[in-house]
Chains A and B, each alone.
Chain A
Amino acid sequence: MSKDQLILGIETSCDETAASIVRNGTEIISNVVSSQIESHKRFGGVVPEIASRHHVEQVTIVIEEALKQANLQPADLDAVAVTEGPGLVGALLIGINAAKAFAFANELPLVGVHHIAGHIYANQLVEPMQFPLVALVVSGGHTEIVLMRDHGSFELIGETRDDAAGEAYDKVARVLKLPYPGGPHIDKLAHEAEEVIAFPRVWLEEGSYDFSFSGLKSSVINYMHNAEQRGEVIKPEAVAAGFQASVVEVLTAKTLRAAKEFNVKHVIAAGGVSANKGLRAALESTFEREGIPFTVPPLFLCTDNAAMIAAAGSVMFEKGILSTMSMNGKPGMPLFNW
C-alpha cells in the first residue's frame, strides 16, 4: 500500500451503535460505541424495536464522533464498511442505510461485512493472522469453529446444534436470578466459588466439532429444582462455577483438537463470550502449553464494535468485494468467502 488506507466501519446489528476508523486494516484511529444495555435491562433482554429506535437516534452522532476523534474529513476516507448481517433486521437497516447515504453523499465505495467475519478480524487489530488458522467464535448468537486457510476463506467445521454459548449463559443467569446481561455475572461468580457443582460435558459423537448446550442448561435447571425441593441451600457461585467449567472445557478441547487436526499456525478467539475471563484463561494456558500461537482481542474488541467491521472491510475492499446502493439487511446471512 503506497498510501494509507482509511476505512470507516459502522455496526448496528444488535444493541450497540458503533462507528470506527481503521488504518490499513490493523490500526484503530477512532472507536466509538454507544451502548443501549441500560435501556434493555428492565426487559431482561434486547427488545428489537427499542434497539432500532436507539440506533436511529445515535447513528449520525456516533459517525461524527468517530471522524472527530480521528481528526479526519469524509474525503480522507477510502471506503465505508457496514455490517450487512446477521443480526436484528430492523437494527441492521439503520447502519446499512446510514452507510449507504454517507457513501453516496461523499462518493465512497461501500462494503457489506458479515458480522462474524468482523468478530474474527478484530484479531487483525491485535496481531497479523497466520494461516492456516482456527477461530473459535463464541457470542450470544453464535458458537462456531471456523477454519481459515487464507484471508476471506471461512470453512465452518463445527457449530452449535441448539443454544449458542452466550445464550446458555443468559438462560442460566436467569435461573440464578442474575441481572441482564448475565454472562459477565456468571463469570464473576464462578471466580468467587469455593466449591464446584459437577455438570456433564456434552461431546456429541466422536470426532464432531459441533456443540450442544441445551442439555447442560437443563442439568442446571434440574439441579436447582431438586436442591430446592430437598430444602438445600443453593450456592449460586458453585452452580456458576460448575456451569462455566463445563462450557469452557468443551470449547477449549474442541478448539485444540481442530488446531491439531488442521495443523494450524494460529488460533484465535472471537465474539462477546471470548471476553469471559474463565474461557480466556483456559484457552491461553492450553495453547501456551501446546506451543500454538493464540490471540484473543482485548475486551472492548470482543463485544460488538465497528473497528472489527472496518478491519474485515479493509481486506474486502482491497479484494474489490463491494456492495451497491440496493444493499439490504440480511438477518440470517451465511458466512461467505471473499
Chain B
Amino acid sequence: MIWLGIDTSNMPLSVAVVKDDTLLVEWTSSVKITHSVGAMPAVEEALKQANLKPTDLDAIAVSEGPGSYTGVRIGVTIAKTLAWTLNIPLVGVSSLETLAGNGYLFNGLICPIMDARRQNVFSAVYTNTGEPKLGDGHYSLEDLLAKMTDMEEKIIFIGHDVAIHWDAIQLALGERAVRAPYYLDLPRASVLIAQAKMKDMPSNEATHHFVPDYKRITEAEANWRADQKKAGNSHE
C-alpha cells in the first residue's frame, strides 16, 4: 500500500511517500515560497525519488486545516484532484492533529499552535496517544490558556508560531509549559499518513465532496449575519 501525504495548511510544506510501514521520501520545508509554486514540484520530486509513477499510488492523505485558507485549499485541491483522477481514496486529517503527532513521545499533554492573528490561535490539546482533550478550534489565546490552568500535566507546545505567544504561555502556565525543539515544530507528512491510516477509508466517490475544515466562516458572512441581527431579521 503506497501513500502520498501533503500538508500545505500553514507556511511550512511537507510531502511524503510511505510504502506499507516504510517512509520512502519526505520533504519538509519552512522556506517562504507560495505553496502553489512549491507543492506540485515537491510531489513530483518525491515520487521521482521513490521511483514511482502517479498510478502506483494507492491512497492520498491531506491536511484538511485549519490554517491559512489559501494554503489549506492548495493542498486539498491537489489531493482531491489526484485522488479523483487516479480513482484512489482520499483521507483528511486535522492539521492540528498532525502537528500534535510530533509530540506523541512526550510524557504529558500536547498543544499544537497556529497563529490566527489578533491574539487568536488555531489550537487543540491532545494526549500523547492522540486523543483530543480539547477539540480543534479557533480560540483567543487567553481562553485557550484559561482552559489549560486546571489540566494537571505538563504541556508541550508545538508549532513554528509558538514563538509569537511563548511569553504569554509561560506567564500563564509557568513550569508546566514546555517548548518543543525546532525540529518538532514543522508538520510532517509522514505523521499525517500514519494518522490517516488509523481512520476509516472513505469511498472513492466521497472525494468530490471533500472540503477543507476552515474552522471559521468568512468575514463577509460574519458581517452579513451581524447586519441581519441588527436589522432584526432571522437568517436563512
What residues of chain A have their CB less than 8 Å away from a CB belonging to chain B? 42-43, 47, 49-50, 52-53, 56-57, 59-61, 63-64, 74, 89-90, 93-94, 96-98, 100-102, 104-107, 324-329
Contact = CB atoms under 8 A, between A and B. Distances in A.
Contacts of B85: 60, 74, 101-102, 105-106
Q: Which of B40, B41, B84 has the most CB of A within 10 A?
A: B40
B30 interface: no
Contact of B54 (A52, A60, A96, A105): A105
B219 A49 contact: yes
17 contacts: A49-B218, A52-B69, A53-B73, A59-B80, A60-B81, A90-B73, A94-B73, A96-B36, A97-B39, A97-B77, A98-B80, A101-B40, A325-B40, A326-B37, A327-B37, A328-B34, A328-B36
Top 10 A-B pairs ranked by shortest CB distance?
A101-B81, A325-B40, A47-B220, A97-B77, A105-B54, A60-B84, A49-B218, A98-B81, A101-B78, A100-B40
Interface residues of B, number: 36
B56 to A, nearest CB: 11
A97 B8 CA distance: 12
Given A97-B78, A101-B78, A105-B85, A49 B36 contact: no
Contacts of B214: 53
B207 interface: yes
B77 A56 contact: yes
Dominant secondary structure at the B interface: helix
A104 B54 contact: yes
A306 to B, nearest CB: 15
Given A52-B73, A326-B40, A97 B218 contact: no
A72 to B, nearest CB: 13
Contacts of B82: 101, 104-105
Given A43-B224, A50-B218, A326-B41, A90 B80 contact: no
Contacts of A97: 36, 39-40, 74, 77-78, 81
Contact of B212 (A50, A56, A104, A107): A56
A145 B99 CA distance: 52
B38 A326 contact: yes
Nearest to B82: A101
B78 A100 contact: yes
A181 B37 CA distance: 34
B197 interface: no
A331 to B, nearest CB: 12
Given A104-B54, A326-B41, A90 B70 contact: yes
A170 B84 CA distance: 38
Contacts of B70: 52, 89-90, 93
